[in-house]
């Protein structure tokens, strides 16, 4: 589930950015980002385990006190809202120009949000179970890479470390910010069946993400080489389009869309859920259900206001998001962690 939170959208768009900076060494970026992601995830799990049974939004108040805690909570809510609008917009960015060119974007966004809202109404368990089914679709991804084997040229990866360390680090930032989305573990943890397994699950999620993102980057470079993919909106999608086997196994990109739609819905669901839950907890509501509709409308509206066109979205993901994201994903948690340590706060034992 956690893995899906990051993967869903990243897997299609991921390769562009690191390849733009690091060329054929982009796969190293993903590995580096994976290490960073593991650190972020462990940090959050450690923090959360000091406050068993509480979500991020609840223990923020424990750490910082009531008013500052609420302010930071709102910061996070705003941040998650940003994420979810990007996801919604990306969702539309693939479906709209390629498959439904004349359908208004807003309709696609509504169609994405409506089932998710229904899922949230039914509760977290429904979402988790849906995820179990959808996650199996990721297997398709592995199969697709195998099918693309004839197009793969391993020499595309040579020479290693061509660009030098600086572009490599630049290329690492954006994927690192995606891995940073794992801070959501701080919200999910209290709802795990066995919250004790936090580390194991977070670690597993990081491994899965690294593997799948690595696979996407591998496929893209192996097929296109280091120069072309940086211009693609969805490099993985384009790579799968090239699959041609025995003159009849071709045009498999629809499988990618299946994965994309399933994953996109879940990712939207996860962040949507975090927002309504967080808002309810911050505002002291007993249930988040009354918030589903208004938040949905807000997401819909913001997805247009924040990203007026797809290039604005791409620029945002490439230039703004790494810094904006990492502030919330690394800096703030570190500060929180420090404060919690200093003030020796733990949840009072019952």
Position 100 contacts another protein (CB under 8 A): yes
Position 250 contacts another protein (CB under 8 A): yes
Position 99 contacts another protein (CB under 8 A): yes
Query: Which span (132-140, 237-245, 266-274, 279-287) binds another protein, by CB under 8 A?
Result: 237-245
Least distance in angstroms from the C-beta of 91 to another protein: 16
Residue that the structure tokens 């590995």 belong to: 31
Position 102 contacts another protein (CB under 8 A): yes
Position 312 contacts another protein (CB under 8 A): no
Return the residue of 110, 152, 207, 242 that touches another protein, per CB under 8 A: 242
The two structure tokens encoding residue 33? 């980002």
- Calculate ∠ Cα 48-52-58, nearest 5°: 70
Answer whether 281's CB lies under 8 Å from 58's CB: yes
Position 323 contacts another protein (CB under 8 A): no
Residue nearer to another protein on the CB measure, 10 or 230: 230
Position 121 contacts another protein (CB under 8 A): no
Residue 242 phi/psi, 5° resolution? Answer: -80, -10
CB-based contacts of 324, cutoff 8 Å, min separation 6 = 79, 82
Count of beta carbons in the 10 Å neighbourhood of residue 320: 12
CA separation for the pair 218, 228 (Å, rounded): 14
Answer whether 202's CB lies under 8 Å from 185's CB: yes
Q: In sequence order, what are the beta bridge partners of 244?
A: 250
Provide DSSP, 186-247.
HHHGGGSSSGGGHHHHHHHHHHHHHHHHHHHHHHHHHHHTTTSGGG-SSHHHHHHHT-EETT
Tell me how far CA of residue 79 lies from CA of 37, 44, 67, 73, in angstroms. 18, 16, 18, 10
Return the residue of 49, 50, 170, 241 that touches another protein, per CB under 8 A: 241
Residue nearer to another protein on the CB measure, 103 or 339: 103
Return the residue of 227, 323, 339, 343 that touches another protein, per CB under 8 A: 227
Return the residue of 39, 66, 78, 103 that touches another protein, per CB under 8 A: 103
CA separation for the pair 18, 174 (Å, rounded): 8
Residue nearer to another protein on the CB measure, 227 or 323: 227
Query: Which span (4-12, 214-222, 223-231, 285-293) binds another protein, by CB under 8 A?
Result: 223-231
Collapsing DSSP to helix, strand or coil, 177 comes out as: helix
Position 125 contacts another protein (CB under 8 A): no
Residue that the structure tokens 């593997």 belong to: 211
Least distance in angstroms from the C-beta of 247 to another protein: 8
Least distance in angstroms from the C-beta of 159 to another protein: 4
Q: Report how many residues bind another protein under the rule CB under 8 A.
A: 24
Question: Which residues between 156 and 175 bind another protein (CB under 8 A)?
Answer: 158-159, 161-162
* Binding interface with another protein (CB under 8 A): 97-104, 107, 155, 158-159, 161-162, 224-225, 227-228, 238, 241-242, 244, 247, 250
């Amino acid at each position: 589930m956690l893995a899906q939170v990051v993967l869903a959208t990243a897997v299609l768009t991921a390769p562009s950015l690191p390849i733009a900076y690091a060329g054929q060494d982009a796969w190293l970026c993903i590995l580096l980002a994976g290490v960073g992601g593991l650190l972020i995830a462990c940090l959050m799990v450690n923090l959360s385990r000091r406050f068993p049974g509480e979500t991020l939004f609840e223990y923020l108040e424990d750490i910082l006190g009531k008013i500052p805690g609420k302010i930071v909570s709102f910061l996070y809510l705003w941040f998650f809202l940003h994420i979810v609008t990007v996801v919604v917009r990306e969702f539309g960015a693939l479906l709209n120009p390629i498959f439904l060119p004349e359908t208004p974007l807003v309709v696609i966004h509504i169609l994405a949000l409506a089932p998710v809202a229904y899922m949230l109404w039914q509760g977290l368990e429904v979402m988790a179970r849906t995820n179990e089914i959808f996650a199996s679709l990721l297997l398709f991804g592995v199969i697709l890479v195998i099918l693309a084997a004839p197009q793969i040229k391993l020499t595309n990866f040579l020479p290693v470390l061509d660009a030098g360390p600086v572009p490599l680090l630049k290329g690492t930032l954006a994927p690192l910010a995606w891995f940073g989305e794992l801070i959501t573990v701080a919200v999910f943890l209290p709802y795990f069946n066995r919250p004790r397994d936090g580390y194991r699950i977070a670690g597993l999620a990081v491994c899965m993400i690294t593997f799948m993102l690595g696979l996407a980057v591998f496929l893209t470079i192996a097929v296109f080489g280091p120069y072309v993919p940086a211009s693609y909106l969805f490099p993985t999608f384009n790579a799968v389009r090239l699959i041609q086997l025995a003159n009849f196994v071709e045009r498999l990109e629809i499988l990618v869309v299946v994965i994309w739609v399933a994953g996109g819905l879940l990712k939207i669901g996860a962040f949507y859920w975090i927002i309504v839950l967080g808002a309810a907890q911050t505002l002291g509501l007993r249930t988040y259900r009354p918030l589903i509709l208004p938040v949905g409308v807000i997401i819909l509206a913001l997805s247009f206001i924040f990203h007026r066109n797809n290039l604005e979205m791409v620029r945002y993901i490439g230039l703004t998001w790494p810094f904006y994201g990492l502030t919330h994903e690394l800096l703030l948690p570190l500060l929180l962690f420090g404060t919690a340590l200093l003030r020796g706060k733990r949840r009072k034992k019952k």
